[in-house]
């Protein structure tokens, strides 16, 4: 019998930020591939809803509360997950997002950009979205000499989008950090890669992309106009990339890479 190289049976995956739309979708994809999945986040209601969905589909999952910006909280979560599901071999670091006080309205003065907002976006996306998870979960991966870390960056980290300067800069830092860590741990059994989604509607950005009547906002229309596929992405369209990078057989020689899933947006001239 041929076993699929994408079979994750026996693996334990942690999805930090698994309570969100994209993180939750990736948690479901990993579970469908056979991994035991820990959905980690601050919202027990949303996290447990995702766990219930995974379990209803025949997968194994647990919810674990944690604060991505608190190393001690992540360590408690790591130890609890190991006790429930076994050694962690896959980490998807999907915590992140933007803040209104770090977003420039049209015609605003960049020199007035809030330092608090800037720092908050960097903390959320770089510190809580990559640095601390890698330190905490990477420590146990290094000890067992096996692990796949998948940071969730953004197409905005490759192209400096208007208005969201702090978010773009923070995600660019995530991509750079991913490459650094991949080089550091390449001979120690731990691979480190990133996925950069393009525009995927979710609760956080829906108002930016759609009007109340469901038609595109001006910005949404501009984005579609620069996307060769002429549409936004759907959460399940990240499934293949995350399962591929998670599988130690399917991507054993892949590290330090940034996999872009954006409908061709980054291939066009803006």
Cite the active site residues.
Answer: 167
Which stretch of DSSP H or E encloses residue 165? helix 165-185
**Beta strands 12-16; 190-197: pairing state:** unpaired
Measured in whole angstroms, how far is the alpha carbon of residue 234 from the centre of its chain? 14
Which stretch of DSSP H or E encloses residue 12? strand 12-16
In sequence order, the 6+-apart residues with CB closer than 8 A to the CB of 230 are 224
Residue among 19, 96, 11, 25 at smallest CA distance from 238? 25
Tell me how far apart the terminal alpha carbons of the chain are, to the nearest angstrom. 49
Distance CA 12, CA 34 (A): 9
Contact between 148 and 91 (Cβ < 8 Å): yes
């Amino acid at each position: 019998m041929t076993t699929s190289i994408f079979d994750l049976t026996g693996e334990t995956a942690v999805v930090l930020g698994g309570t969100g739309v994209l993180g939750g979708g990736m948690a479901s994809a990993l579970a469908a591939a056979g991994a035991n999945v820990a959905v980690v986040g601050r919202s027990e209601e949303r996290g447990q809803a995702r766990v219930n969905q995974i379990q209803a589909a025949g997968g194994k999952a647990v919810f674990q509360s944690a604060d991505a910006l608190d190393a001690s909280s992540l360590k408690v979560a790591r130890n609890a997950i190991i006790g429930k599901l076994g050694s962690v071999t896959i980490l998807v670091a999907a915590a992140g997002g933007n803040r209104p006080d770090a977003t420039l309205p049209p015609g605003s003065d960049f020199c007035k950009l809030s330092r608090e907002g800037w720092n908050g976006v960097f903390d959320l996306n770089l510190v809580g979205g990559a640095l601390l998870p890698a330190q905490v979960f990477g420590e146990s991966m290094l000890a067992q000499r096996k692990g796949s870390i998948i940071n969730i960056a953004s197409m905005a980290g490759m192209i400096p989008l208007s208005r969201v300067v702090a978010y773009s800069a923070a995600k660019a830092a995530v991509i750079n950090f991913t490459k650094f860590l991949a080089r550091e741990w390449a001979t120690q059994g731990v691979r480190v890669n990133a996925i950069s989604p393009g525009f995927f509607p979710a609760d956080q950005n829906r108002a930016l992309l759609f009007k109340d009547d469901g038609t595109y906002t001006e910005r949404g229309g501009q984005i579609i106009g620069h996307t060769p596929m002429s549409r936004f992405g759907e959460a399940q369209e990240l499934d293949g990339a995350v399962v591929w990078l998670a599988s130690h057989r399917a991507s054993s020689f892949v590290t330090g890479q940034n996999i872009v899933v954006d409908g061709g947006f980054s291939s066009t001239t803006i």
